[in-house]
């Protein structure tokens, strides 16, 4: 499947429940954009989310992450979920997680009495790579050194647990797991820390250096005339009838970029019904850009609408009005026949073609993991000191939000500044920021980058009026939809 990275301006006009856009479809690059690091070596253009190998150092005395105030997810039950992997520790094994790899040697686990654990062990694993992940985790990003508090900027953080029959397992002294963790930067000035929830501080372990790993991966088959992408990427999608109860967008679709869609032309893309909070007012807005990207090889797509510094992202799927549905079915049948013929042709060509390989380079950071818990690949930064504002926080109704922890993100940094109610607000006026808090009824109150531009003081007293977003939050995806447009 071919995607484009070009952007095209478009205007949305609501027609009953349909929005019309006279532009071409392009591929999205995601909600969270990478920005250069402030005051440090800038990120290369090739810095992308990549595999990172990390080595962790063990102390079974720290055990699992405490659930006290030190690690305190601001939205209970909405933080990044663990993924569970079952490993037969008699043989050892490995598993992958969003580009990362965890390697578990045989016979490394024991119980609290030091008795070797045998059989199957459940490993729970998750990672945090962007400010929203970090915010939801409730894991502190501050580091105390000789009484001075610093903030961490992360190149990747992980949380790993192990248990058998519901009881925690430990790692034997002198043994360790190995993690190749996905990272977002090739910069070298990062260290590895483990979170000590008893002493309530991060403990330095070792220097982290990016490791460039080159792998040989299959190239396209030589001497063939067809594009040898994975067959499923080209498999036609069976047409759906439109549902008049749902909001949809009419997009001018280029069949060369999306050959899997029958009757690509001016296709309706219906908003997935799970987006119950979709605001119909968006239909009357004029958008500067939009992008569309297929989600895997499914029949769903991610649509991103952008206007100035604001963007919205929805999951959509192609549908057809009753008057267009019959033709779409005919086109689907014809495309399916062509697809079947293409596969047969490629199968014949594969019999004589030579498979070549190309070198694919990844950046990994290697950690040896001798204990379960939270591990972070960080560098220490100081809080920006351009402003020194004694803040009062209120909502749109002028009700006080004081006493609530406030979170701030500088767009140049991959971290979250947690502002306690008794601390001044410090930020770099040459950069851009977004700030938010969680209200008592678990709503997000936000102070946007546009709001920051209107702040006319750098010291003294200031009242930050934050807008409460009246949308229910049921998952980390909901938080991403609410905050991602501002990051």
- Domain match, 339 and 433 both: no
Q: Are 73 and 82 in contact (CB under 8 A)?
A: no
- For position 47, what pLDDT does the model report? 32
Give the model confidence (pLDDT) of 436-457 as tens digits: 999 988 999 999 999 999 999 9
Q: For residue 360, give the DSSP letter.
A: E
Q: Is the pLDDT of residue 18 over 60?
A: no
- For position 10, what pLDDT does the model report? 34
Q: How many residues make up the chain in this entry?
A: 487
- Domain match, 345 and 231 both: yes
Residue 228 lies in a domain: yes
Least confident segment among 170-184, 355-369, 376-390: 355-369
Residue 52 lies in a domain: no
Give the model confidence (pLDDT) of 283-310 as tens digits: 667 778 878 887 777 778 888 888 887 8
Residue 107 lies in a domain: no
Mean per-residue pLDDT, 349-366 = 66
- For position 48, what pLDDT does the model report? 29
Confidence of residue 69 (pLDDT cuts 50, 70, 90): low
- Domain match, 243 and 338 both: yes
More confident residue, 275 or 399: 399
Residue 299 lies in a domain: yes
Residue 285 lies in a domain: yes
Q: Is the pLDDT of residue 61 over 70?
A: no
- For position 436, what pLDDT does the model report? 95
- For position 65, what pLDDT does the model report? 31
Kindly tell me the number of DSSP H helices and DSSP E strands found in the chain: 5, 30
- 165 phi/psi in degrees, rounded to 5: 55, 35
Q: Is the pLDDT of residue 474 over 80?
A: yes
Distance CA 363, CA 366 (A): 10
- The pTM for the full model equals 0.58
Tokens encoding 223: 């001497």
Q: Is the pLDDT of residue 97 over 80?
A: yes
- Domain match, 395 and 448 both: yes
- Domain match, 230 and 343 both: yes
Residue 378 lies in a domain: no
Confidence of residue 153 (pLDDT cuts 50, 70, 90): very high
Distance CA 260, CA 25 (A): 14
Confidence of residue 487 (pLDDT cuts 50, 70, 90): confident
- Domain match, 344 and 430 both: no
- Domain match, 421 and 339 both: no
- For position 283, what pLDDT does the model report? 64
- Domain match, 313 and 422 both: no
Residue 26 lies in a domain: yes
Distance CA 261, CA 402 (A): 52
Structural domain including 453 reads 384-486
- Domain match, 338 and 399 both: no
**Alpha helix (H) ranges present in 265-401?**
322-350
Nearest to 305 by CA among 328, 321, 329, 284: 284
Mean per-residue pLDDT, 365-373 = 93
Sign (positive/negative) of CA torsion 234, 235, 241, 245?
negative
Tokens encoding 133: 């992940």
Nearest to 312 by CA among 479, 485, 470, 471: 485
More confident residue, 453 or 36: 453
Share of the chain above pLDDT 70, in %: 73
More confident residue, 262 or 85: 85
Mean per-residue pLDDT, 80-92 = 95
Give the model confidence (pLDDT) of 241-271 as tens digits: 888 777 777 776 666 666 666 566 667 788 8
More confident residue, 329 or 358: 329
Q: What is the mean pLDDT of the chain?
A: 77
Residue 121 lies in a domain: no
More confident residue, 144 or 396: 396
- Domain match, 408 and 470 both: yes
Least confident segment among 98-112, 120-134, 160-174, 221-235: 221-235
- Domain match, 344 and 393 both: no
* CATH code, domain carrying 415: 2.60.40
Last residue of a domain, one of 324, 350, 376: 350
Number of domains in the chain: 2
- Domain match, 389 and 459 both: yes
Mean per-residue pLDDT, 222-235 = 51
Confidence of residue 190 (pLDDT cuts 50, 70, 90): very high
- For position 287, what pLDDT does the model report? 77
- For position 24, what pLDDT does the model report? 30
- For position 53, what pLDDT does the model report? 35
């Amino acid at each position: 499947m071919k995607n484009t990275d070009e952007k095209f301006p478009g205007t949305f006009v609501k027609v009953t429940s349909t929005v019309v856009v006279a532009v071409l479809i392009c591929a999205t690059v995601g909600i969270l954009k990478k920005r250069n690091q402030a005051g440090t070596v800038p990120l290369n253009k090739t810095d992308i989310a990549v595999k990172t190998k990390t080595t962790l150092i063990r102390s079974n005395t720290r055990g699992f992450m405490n659930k006290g105030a030190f690690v305190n997810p601001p939205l209970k039950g909405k933080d990044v979920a663990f993924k569970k992997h079952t490993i037969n520790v008699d043989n050892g094994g490995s598993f992958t997680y969003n580009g990362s790899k965890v390697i578990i040697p045989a016979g490394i686990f024991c119980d609290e009495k030091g008795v070797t654990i045998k059989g199957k062990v459940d490993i729970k694993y998750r990672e945090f790579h962007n400010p929203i992940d970090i915010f939801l985790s409730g894991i502190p990003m501050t580091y105390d050194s000789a009484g001075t508090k610093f903030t961490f900027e992360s190149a990747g953080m992980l949380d790993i647990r192990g248990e058998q029959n519901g009881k925690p397992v430990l790692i034997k002294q002198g043994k360790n797991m190995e993690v190749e963790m996905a990272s977002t930067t090739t910069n070298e000035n990062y260290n590895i820390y483990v979170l000590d929830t008893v002493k309530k501080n991060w403990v330095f372990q070792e220097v982290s250096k990016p490791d460039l790993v080159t792998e040989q991966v299959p190239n396209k088959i030589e001497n063939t005339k067809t594009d040898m992408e994975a067959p499923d990427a080209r498999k036609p999608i069976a047409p759906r009838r439109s549902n008049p109860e749902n909001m949809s967008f009419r997009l001018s679709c280029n069949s060369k970029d999306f050959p899997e869609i029958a009757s690509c032309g001016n296709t309706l893309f219906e908003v997935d019904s799970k987006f119950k909070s979709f605001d119909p007012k968006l239909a009357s807005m004029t958008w500067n850009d939009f992008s569309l990207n297929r989600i895997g090889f499914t029949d769903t797509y991610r649509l991103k609408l952008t206007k100035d510094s604001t963007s919205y992202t929805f999951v959509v799927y192609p549908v057809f009005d009753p008057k267009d549905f019959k033709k779409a079915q005919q086109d689907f049948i014809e495309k399916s026949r062509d697809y079947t013929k293409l596969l047969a042709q490629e199968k014949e060509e594969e019999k004589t073609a030579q498979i070549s390989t190309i070198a694919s380079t990844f950046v990994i950071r290697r950690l040896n993991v001798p204990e379960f818990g939270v591990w972070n690949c960080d560098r220490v930064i100081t809080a920006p000191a351009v402003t020194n504002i004694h803040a009062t926080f209120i909502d749109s109704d002028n009700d006080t939000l004081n006493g609530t922890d406030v979170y701030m993100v500088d767009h140049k940094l991959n971290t979250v500044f947690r502002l306690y109610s008794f601390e001044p607000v410090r930020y770099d006026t040459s950069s851009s920021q977004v700030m938010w808090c969680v209200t008592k009824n678990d709503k997000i109150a936000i102070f946007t980058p546009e709001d920051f531009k209107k702040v006319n003081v750098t010291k003294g007293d200031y009242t930050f009026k934050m807008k409460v977003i009246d949308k229910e939050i049921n998952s980390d995806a909901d938080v991403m939809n609410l905050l991602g447009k501002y990051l």
